[in-house]
A = this chain, B = another copy of it.
Amino acid sequence: MFSKTAEYALRATIYIAQKSSEDNKLGIEEIAKSIDAPRSFTAKILQLLTKDNEVISSVRGPNGGFYITEKAKGLSIRTILETIKEDDVFTKCVLGLKACSEAQPCPMHFQYKPIKQQLIRLFETKTIRDLAKELKTGERFLANFRPRKKTRVTK
């Protein structure tokens, strides 16, 4: 569905939203590890999202790092995707026609359309804050669980 860039962007944003605040900024090291993504690549992606501090905010120097404002937490998932130019799902045809339109529909169009609308609705209505809250329940994951060989039993 999404590129690696988009996946890391979403996971990182949700992680930052859940864990950070203006006076508890997170370093790239911690973020990348927590979402199980390559460090430098994640840094590059965050650079896109920190442009003008629009989605994610950052400051350099000691005690610097990434955080996200309460205001930005109200942004939709769609906003994140658009910021990183991953908006295919909103515009493209499922069979790859340049545009998805009723004027020149592909053979799947009318069956796909209602599903696409739900996807759009989902990404438009869900905010960063919503997803961070889900994560906070502790029963949601942003990285692959590494199962232990055995359950450690202490005597």
Contact = CB atoms under 8 A, between A and B. Distances in A.
A81 to B, nearest CB: 11
Interface stretch (A24-32, A40-48, A109-117): A109-117
A4 interface: yes
Given A115-B115, A126-B108, A141-B106, A1 B88 contact: yes
A140 B113 CA distance: 14
B139 A95 contact: no
Contacts of A14: 95, 107
B1 A94 contact: yes
Contacts of A141: 97, 104-106
A20 to B, nearest CB: 16
What is the interface residue range for chain A against chain B?
35 or more
Nearest to A8: B96
A111 B131 CA distance: 10
A102 to B, nearest CB: 10
Interface of A: 1-2, 4, 7-8, 10-11, 14, 88-89, 92, 94-98, 104-109, 111-112, 115, 118-119, 122, 126, 131-132, 134-135, 139-145
Counting from the closest, the 6 A-B pairs by CB-CB distance are A7-B96, A107-B134, A107-B131, A107-B140, A104-B141, A107-B135
